[in-house]
Structure 1
Amino acid sequence: MPTSSEVLHALPLPALVVGGDRRIADQNAAASDLFRGDLTGRHLATAIRQPALLDAVEAVIEGTTSTTARYLVTTHGQEQIFDVHIAALESDHSVLMAFVDTAPQEEAGQMRSDFVANVSHELRTPLTALTGFIETLRGPARDDAAARARFLNIMAEEAGRMNRLVTDLLSLSRVEDMARMRPTDLVDLDQVIAMVATTLGPAAADRQVELVIQPCDEQPVLVTGDRDQLTQVVTNLTENAIKYGREGGNVRITTRALEQVPAFKGPGVEVSVEDDGDGIDPKHLGRLTERFYRVDTHRSREMGGTGLGLAIVKHIVNRHRGRLRIESAMGQGSTFTVTLPAAAAG
């Protein structure tokens, strides 16, 4: 049977053992990292000057079986909060203190709160518009045919905006639910690109944008993936390039086979979607895949964007164990490149 010391040093959490004399009898490597050194032999009150935590340890030494307290520490200007689980070790009348970092749970909670706030904000504008137009149509514009037609067109646009938002939210939820499920279909990316180009042809024509497709010289270009999700990746990237690139410009979609990709330890396939628009300020590049993050909020909404397209792309690419690279410079357009592991031969 392992000794208490062996168990202590096997724990992944920072942990201390405090003796009945209130001195620290032992600590593991994770605790050494947390406290930046060896506390062994020091009196607990001199090592940890937090009264609530010291009172909790004292209560367990005096007879309470176990309890929980909080430990706060500031590292590099950032506050960390730990839940400290304190339990008596009856074998040698000492106390075990295990420190659990609460940051992941708090970050998850903050993300949920931000997500709900963002969704509420995105829905509030069209709902407010719809409510206002309905009241107007019921009152002052009841008998005004021209106003009624104009308001109904705007209401249809706002309803469409809400529908796109709900569709993207559901899509993002499905992608997240499938994050740990490895896709198994054999997908030819050039076929996917050709289908997307056909589907988005009318949207490109509306902005007088020429779609230039450059397929890979090596045919076919196969990856192991989810065909519907990879179609969504190419669609989202191409649709963005058409919307936010230069009107009357070009959108180039290129496929390349890569003999060796270090991250995959094997061959890969690269799909690039390039526009010749105004480009994106480098300060925005690191945040483009965040949910609801927009470089130009007003323009994005005018174009029908939901702020979720690139977040969906990122999650799909991650599910496929791929990489997403974004390159842009002001006045020089933008290039979004997805690199995926090539399907195994045979």
Structure 2
Amino acid sequence: RVIHLNAAAAQLAPALRKNELAQFALRSPEIITALREAIATTEPRRATYLDHVPVDRWMELVITPVPVPTLFGGTDKCMLMTFHDLTPLRRVEEMRADFVANASHELRTPLAALSGFIDTLQGPARDDPRARERFLGIMHTQATRMARLIDDLLSLSRVELSAHVRPDTCVDLIPIIRQVADGLEPLARERQVVIEIQLPETPVMIAGDREELLRLFENLIENALKYGASGGRVIVSLKEAASGEGAPEIRVLVRDFGPGIAPEHLPRLTERFYRVDVGDSRLQGGTGLGLSLVKHILNRHRGRLLIESVPKNGATFTACFPQVKTPVAA
């Protein structure tokens, strides 16, 4: 039976109650086995397990028998259960492996192009001003692409590292979306696309990380401007709705009127480095990480991404966020 638990334990296992049996609240087989063994042997036990709710977390449990004095002068053996969250360490290990594999694969193409043009400029095109200007322009584009790729990989790594920690700051979505749209106005003019903003005048508050939300909307609106440019306009709107479970949520919709996306591609769009058209993506300066980053940011905010598209009739990307029920500390 539970004698005492601190706030962190109550947050980890909300079903834990004082004076009630621990195994009813701690349902992981690894925990129950370790606890029974510690009680039977009165020796310390250690166990690791994966907690799937609300997000995947790797935990380590240390059970230490502790003698506690009784009212009548004797002692009872109590079990001190200490939980350690190993998730940040595990995520760092996974990210290191993913980063090396992904970066080496994606950086090889622009690096090969840079090396080839450098060799050409040092050799056959050494005294050709026109070729030099053209090659330097291509080299600048490839270097910019590498820098953006590294920036996206680092952003993805940072979000994944804190995926199990939900943001607790209250932010207003309206100025964030407007800031992103204003910043992308030059790209819109270049692509001859009009960004239509349909947002309420009153604040719309959610629990969120401002910098991550800026990155999220930047990716969604920039994708619409690049891949839906032929439609001539992009609509960014906001509405209140209910999730599948009936919980109130805020939805931000980014709709383009471009060529749309074939149905077979929709389930895989948020995979790292997945592209509908590799050549077109690279031509547009895409890294293949934008929607993966969007998905991970939404996961951290306990939200979700909806993608709807009809070929030749544009696409709508919807970011859904839980509504703030009570004031959140700033």
TM-score between both structures, scaled by the size of structure 2: 0.68
**TM-aligned CA distance change 1:124 to 1:242, over 3 Å:** same
Partner of 2:238 in structure 1?
A: 255
Deviation at 1:342, TM superposition (A): 1.3
Query: What is the deviation of 1:113?
Result: 6.9
- Tell me by how many angstroms 1:231 deviates: 1.1
Cα distance change of structure 1 residues 242 and 11 upon mapping to structure 2, 3 Å threshold: closer
Q: Match of 1:56?
A: none
Aligned length: 241
Contact 1:210-1:248 at 8 Å conserved across structures: no
Compared CA separation, residues 290 and 248, structure 1 to 2 (3 A) = closer
1:136 aligns with 2:120: yes
1:117 CA drift (Å): 4.3
Aligned-partner SS, 1:140: coil
Query: Could you say which residue in structure 1 is the equivalent of 2:107?
Result: 123
How do residues 1-346 of structure 1 correspond to structure 2 at under 5 angstroms?
12=29, 116-216=100-200, 219-247=202-230, 249-258=232-241, 260-263=242-245, 266-346=247-327
Report the Cα distance in structure 1 between the residues aligned to 2:180 and 2:28, rounded to whole angstroms.
51
CA shift for structure 1 position 199: 0.2
Runs of 4+ aligned structure 1 residues displaced above 6 Å come to 109-115
Q: What SS class does the counterpart of residue 233 from structure 1 fall into?
A: helix
Q: Is the 8 A contact 1:322 1:340 kept in 2?
A: yes
Question: Whose radius of gyration is greater, 1 or 2?
Answer: 1
Shift of 1:111: 9.8
**3-state SS of the aligned residue for 1:292?**
coil
Contact (CA 8 Å) 2:230, 2:259: kept in 1 or not?
A: no
Identity %: 55
SS of the equivalent of 2:317 reads strand
Q: Unaligned 5+ residue runs, structure 1?
A: 1-9, 14-108
Q: Distance in 2 between matches of 1:182 and 1:248?
A: 37
3-state SS, counterpart of residue 200 of structure 2: coil
Distance 1:229-1:110 versus aligned 2 partners, 3 A rule: closer
TM-score (structure 1 length as normaliser): 0.65
8 A contact 1:216–1:257 mirrored in 2: no
Query: 1:112: Cα distance to partner?
Result: 8.0
| Aligned mates of 2:251, 2:294 — CA distance in 1 | 15
Instruction: Supply the distance in 2 between the matched residues of 1:320 and 1:285 (Cα, whole angstroms).
Output: 22
Q: Deviation of residue 186 (structure 1)?
A: 1.3
Counterparts in 2 of 1:112 and 1:286: CA distance versus 1, 3 Å? farther
